[in-house]
Structure 1
Amino acid sequence: MSSSSVLRPEILVVGNRCYRINPSSLPSLEPVDNQQHQVYREEEETDYYVDNLDDDEPSCKPQQKRSTIEPEEKSQIVREEESIEDDDDTIDYLDKENMFVYEMDVAPAFYGVLIGKNAENKQKLEQDTNTKIIFPRRDETGTVKIRSRTKANVQSARTRIELIIDRNRQMQPFTHFLSIPICQSSSSLSKNFKQKYEEFKKNVLEQCSNERGITNELFQQVNKLHLTIATFVLLSKSEINFIKDTLQECTKTLLKQFMPTDKERFIVQLKGLEFMNDDPSFVDVLYAKVQLINQTNTTRLQNFLDRLNEELLNTGLMKQKFERIKLHVTLMNSLLRKDDTGILEAQKTARGRVKNQERESFDAKNILRLFGQYDFGQIELNELHLSIMHEPDRQTGYYGCETKILLKPII
């Protein structure tokens, strides 16, 4: 290990606790199960956000992805706190048994990696922390119980479990995403946008169909057009409910701040085209830019979503590595060749890891030349959805919805 890595170790925060990574041992961080997941693959993860450096209140903290490493290089997380939390009232003490007990709400999808083959991971955790860890039986539901004679041992085991879950969550495909639908409203602005989008699609196919890779399958279905705000890995009903409750609480607070009167609305102009890579002849995703109507209105929207994004990061259930959301609406995507619903099953390696879907780029030079400043009109953003990635809503043509929140002033 270099001196720089010692002086600047990787830091990970879970809840309000900080950890650093030191050389030692930790149970193998393999994906949590072998079940084939379905994945929302309309855009790459980096399509959603831009780094603050590049600028393109209710809380918790995001996890960081770390690849599996060889046994001699495996790491153990060491607490950075100055002392044990003696005042931790979440850990119960059983007088009759002279035992400290903590119950963890763990998604069953993580049981496999925590227990390990022949219970090897579980046994190592118990030995390292001098605890007894009890999982629900296969036919039961409930919490994971940690038992020990000392509170410090229970806290240590809890920390190790949290971090293993944290790392493994990052290896899983997205299950939900936070979105703002564009075409689910019956307003005149929404109808006008639909018409403009269909005209754009028709003109591109008529004038650019001879370009490499330009086909009808590239275009997103009009009823699925949206802004993506965040993506999540939610593997249990309790995790879904926690995000729903957090959304309700955060948006209520933020809307009071960013929509203080009945006059405010989130109205944006969708004008112009952009793509993610450097070469317009090899494009995978083409999207409409969200442009200014006036500085105040768009700044309010950006600040509202950035603040919401920050709060959701703190839950530990969100997958995001940048701090500022890039507002955009994906129009064309090479992944849609494989599945016109925009929902593709993840391919996995023999070890269970998700591979990127194979995609064939398209030549967008002429599209950008002819339609680079195409005006799709204004649109009012009036709903925020916690959308389900693998369950389309057949009635609306949009994605399935766990909960929706109206983006309107709270008076």
Structure 2
Amino acid sequence: MDVLRPPLIRIGGRVYRKNLIQEQALPHEEEEEDLCAGPGDVDEPCDAFVVEETERGFQCRVEVPSPLYKYIIGKKGETKKRLETETRTSISIPKPGVEGEIVITGQQRSGVVSARTRIDVLLDSFRKKQPFTHFLSFALNQPAIQEKFLQFKEEVLEKCSKDHGVSSSLFQNPAKLHLTLGTLVLLNQQEIQKACDLLQRCKEDFVDQITGGQPLTVEVAGVEYMNDDPTMTDVLYAKVHMKDGSDRLQMVADQLVERFVASGLMLKEWDRVKLHATVMNTLFRKDPTEERNNTMTGKSSFKERESFNGQNILKAGSEHPSRTPKSRSGQEGISQPAKGGGSSCCVKRPLSWGRAGPGEMPGWQHPVRVPAVAACPAPQLARRWHGGGWGSC
């Protein structure tokens, strides 16, 4: 058939193109066999995990963080009972709060494999719903940075406090300034140690090669907002780029995230890491009335975010670039959020924060030195934040 001149069919005053139907000769169809065999014959992946043969049948062990036990047990043990019934297995789960392995036993290997597969699916689904516990970041919280950030906060409040929604509670705690690369859900000490070990391997595998073993000088220059309308801003952040114009810092960030995603410790959110330091966020906003009500009722209430007008802050930040002061050196690492929305850092990274001329809004051109990645010992992750600043490894 000529595709440019296909046969036409007129039906009810409309013209339709007749397409050629290509029929293929199929072999004789045999009767379908009943593939509904015993429980668990489906779901079996190839060499996905180890199933041991025992005197009583088969056994498989699953490493599961204790906070996820409840999702395997279910309400009144219903999920566990259903899994055991449908797969004809017995599932042994450690006591709540006790780290250990879930042990699946059964007389048929297929049943054990099916139970393991279904447990993996449950764990993967509920892990994605967990709030993040740690984040991979470059810390920007040295005393000099905190001092300059407080000056920036003071001048913004002095010049822009009458703008809609602007208040002191929107500003980041200066002790928690950082560049977030990605968030992680690490639910026990083993997962924390795994993340720290991976961070150290990243240093050896590619970070030293990209940086040449030398610190990278970057600039924090300019402020930007996350949404489309500057008059309805929710997040204001400082932009970061390499001083020499290269993309080496971006390469380090992207490859770190890529490696953590491949390991299963981090979920992929974006194709490219957006290097930024949050300085104002409406999630930080405090409502005195709400706090008073919560104290009286003992309950917390959800309130929709109230955006602020960031036009004047953005204008001032773009009109007054700062002088470029001397650089210092520091490091990057894994951090853990602290109580009250803060975070605790694995390793710290100094930054020299510049200042605009008298009477001007602070600028954002501040060289930073980014050396090789350093992993923090896992025991320090859970107790990094001491209320007044960052600790050191």
TM-score (norm. length: structure 2): 0.68
Calculate percent identity across the aligned residue pairs.
36
> Aligned match of 2:116 in 158, 165, 169?
158
Structure-1 separation of matches of 2:67 and 2:287: 27
Structure 2: distance between partners of 1:135 and 1:171: 21
Name the residue aligned to 1:408.
Answer: 372
After superposition, residues 183-198 of structure 1 pair within 5 angstroms as: 183-184=141-142, 191=144, 193-194=145-146, 196-198=148-150
Q: Which amino acid aligns with 1:107?
A: P
- Structural mapping, 1:302-313, within 5 Å: 302-313=250-261
- Equivalences for residues 8-407 of structure 1 within 5 A: 84-85=45-46, 90-94=50-54, 96-97=55-56, 99-138=57-96, 141-184=99-142, 191=144, 193-194=145-146, 196-261=148-213, 264-296=214-246, 299-338=247-286, 358-372=304-318, 374-375=320-321, 377=324, 382-391=330-339, 399-401=343-345, 407=371
- The letter for the 1-side match of 2:113 is Q
Letter in 2 for 1:219: F
Q: CA deviation at 1:367?
A: 1.2
Q: Secondary structure at the match of 1:165?
A: helix
- Structure with more relative contact order (C-alpha pairs < 8 Å, separation 6 or more): 1
SS in 1 for 2:59: strand
Distance 1:92 1:374, change over 3 A: farther
Contact 1:266 1:382 (8 Å CA) reproduced: no
CA contact (8 A) 1:179 1:385 kept: yes
How far apart are the structure 2 equivalents of 1:141 and 1:156?
A: 24
What amino acid sits opposite 2:228 in the alignment? D
- Deviation of residue 392 (structure 1)? 8.3
The one-letter code sitting in structure 2 at the alignment partner of 1:337 is R
Q: CA deviation at 1:266?
A: 2.4
Q: Give the TM-score normalised by the residue count of structure 1.
A: 0.65
Structure 1 portions without partners, runs of 5+? 1-77, 348-353
Query: Over aligned residue pairs, what C-alpha RMSD do you find?
Result: 3.3
Contact 2:199 2:373 in 1 (8 A): no
Q: Is the 8 A contact 1:208 1:367 kept in 2?
A: yes
How far off is 1:408 after superposition? 2.5
| Aligned 8 A contact 1:213 1:362 in 2 | yes
Deviation per CA, 1:62-106, whole angstroms, max 9, x where unpaired? Answer: xxxxxxxxxxxxxxxx75xxx742x56732222x22x22111111
Residue 269 of structure 1 aligns to which amino acid in structure 2? Answer: E
Q: Residue 91 of structure 1 contacts residue 101 of structure 1 at CA under 8 Å; is this kept in 2?
A: yes
Going from structure 1 to structure 2, the CA distance change for 1:229 and 1:116 (only over 3 Å counts) comes to: same
Residue range with higher mean Cα deviation, 384-393 or 251-260: 384-393
CA contact (8 A) 1:391 1:400 kept: no
After superposition, the C-alpha distances for 1:27-83 in whole angstroms (9 at most, x for unaligned) are xxxxxxxxxxxxxxxxxxxxxxxxxxxxxxxxxxxxxxxxxxxxxxxxxxx75xxx7
What SS class does the counterpart of residue 329 from structure 1 fall into? strand
How far apart are 1:141 and its partner, in Å? 4.2
Q: Secondary structure at the match of 1:281?
A: helix
Q: Does the C-alpha gap of structure 1 residues 356 and 319 become closer, same or farther in structure 2, counting only changes over 3 Å? A: farther
Distance in 1 of aligned mates of 2:175 and 2:97 = 41
SS across alignment from 2:239? strand
Determine helix, strand or coil for the equivalent of 1:143: strand
Who wins on radius of gyration, i.e. which is larger? 2
Q: Which amino acid aligns with 1:407?
A: P
Structure 2 vs 1, CA of residues 170 and 249 (structure 1 numbering), >3 Å: closer, same or farther? same
Match of 1:278, SS state, is coil
Between the aligned partners of 2:188 and 2:333, the Cα distance in structure 1 is 18
